[in-house]
A and B are shown apart, each in its own frame.
Chain A
Amino acid sequence: MQHQNLLVIMEENKNSHELDAFVKKYVKEIHTESPSKDFTASLMSKIVVEHQKSIFTTSALISKKGWFLILLLVLALIFIPFESPEKSLINFPELDLSFFDKIQLPSFSVSNTVLYAVFFFGLMFMAQVVFLKNHFNKRFK
């Protein structure tokens, strides 16, 4: 029985080799087609347009590094005065925040389930943005 199976497998292997050779032989004979004669010329004119576009591409006014520095600065401005009240860098004017107590918000409660749902929706949404961006960039690597 096993011998029989082995024979079948050998036969299949032989056939697939034969088929491989068959396809290789005949597909290679096919003539390739060429694009139209003015292809390179018309493409290059588009490339020139593309090149000019790239010269005028906008870049962010504040780079990622810049934003990071700004964030650090803001955090420093907020926290340093609390750390050392005597040597405060900037004297913030005293703000009267008592008006918050006067605002009467209608009381409503949200169940934990909804909170979790919203939280995870947000999380997944952010994850997708990163994932899709990578996915499309990968094509050009």
Chain B
Amino acid sequence: MTTTNDQLYINKVINGDINAFAYLVDAYKKMVFSLAFKMTKNRGEAEEVCQDTFIKAYTNLNKFKGDSKFSTWLYRIAYHACLDTIKKNKNHNNSLEINEITFNQIQSVNTILQGIERKERAKMINDCLLELQDEERSLIWMFYFDELSLKEIIAVTEISEANLKVKLHRARKKLLGIVKENAAPELISHYGRK
């Protein structure tokens, strides 16, 4: 995923070689689809958003000036396409009250999670992530999974830096709360098995 390679293919597409676009699609479809799936929580919708994103990217490719990474530019289009879809379908979100967290809480949840098999744990964290609100979930995804920098997230979402930090912190806390709630029964069944 080197930027110079991207630029090479982008230039080819702009010069009329449509097939060069397939390279860009293959390189980034997983990233875009994962974000879309995380945000819309629906495979069909995610696929649609993913397609729209690439079509928009194709028709606006000549507007990509290369000031940012191509992936960030694409991410931005995808993020806004997801927001549009969510707004259209308005899945309602359940919100969880955030309580103050303590070091001990983190430690105890950590211990519980360590006791669960890796595959199972990944599924559980994924389920917990889906319980977050759309915006919180997308921020966590960008920052922790796709490892976008704060600066890149600001470029994608147009949220101010201070606001972003607050939102990220709140999202982290909420996620811990949800994991804690979901992990408690897991813990009981875990010991039950022994």
CB pair B47–A35 under 8 Å, yes or no, is yes
**Interface SS, B side:** helix
CB pair B101–A15 under 8 Å, yes or no, is yes
Which residue, A11, A33, A48, A137, has most C-beta atoms of chain B within 10 A? A33
Please pick, from A15, A39, A137, A139, the residue contacting B47 in the complex, using a CB distance under 8 A: A39
CB pair B63–A29 under 8 Å, yes or no, is no
Binds B, one of A19-27, A76-84, A86-94, A105-113: A19-27
Give the size category of B's interface with A.
35 or more
Contacts of A14 in B (CB 8 A): 103
Contacts of A48 in B (CB 8 A): 18
A11 CA to B102 CA, complexed, in Å:
9
B29 CB–A CB distance under 8 Å: yes
Tell me which residues from 118 to 175 in chain B have a Cβ below 8 Å from any Cβ of chain A: 118, 121-122, 125-126, 129, 140-141, 144-145, 169, 172-173, 175
**A to B contact number (C-beta, < 8 Å):** 117
Residue of chain B at shortest CB distance from A20? B172
CB pair B106–A22 under 8 Å, yes or no, is yes
CB pair A40–B145 under 8 Å, yes or no, is no
Please pick, from A23, A32, A40, A44, the residue contacting B18 in the complex, using a CB distance under 8 A: A44
Give the size category of A's interface with B.
35 or more
| Chain A proximity of B126: nearest CB distance (Å) | 5
Contacts of B169 in A (CB 8 A): 16
Please pick, from B46, B58, B64, B113, the residue contacting A26 in the complex, using a CB distance under 8 A: B113
Q: Mark A16-54, 1 if CB is under 8 A from B, else 0.
A: 101110111011111111111001101110111011001
Q: A34-B33, A39-B50 are in contact. List 11 more A-B contacts (CB 8 A).
A: A15-B103, A16-B169, A22-B110, A23-B144, A27-B141, A32-B30, A33-B34, A33-B37, A39-B47, A42-B51, A141-B67
Q: A-side interface residues toward B, CB under 8 Å? A: 11, 14-16, 18-20, 22-24, 26-36, 39-40, 42-44, 46-48, 50-51, 54, 137, 139-141
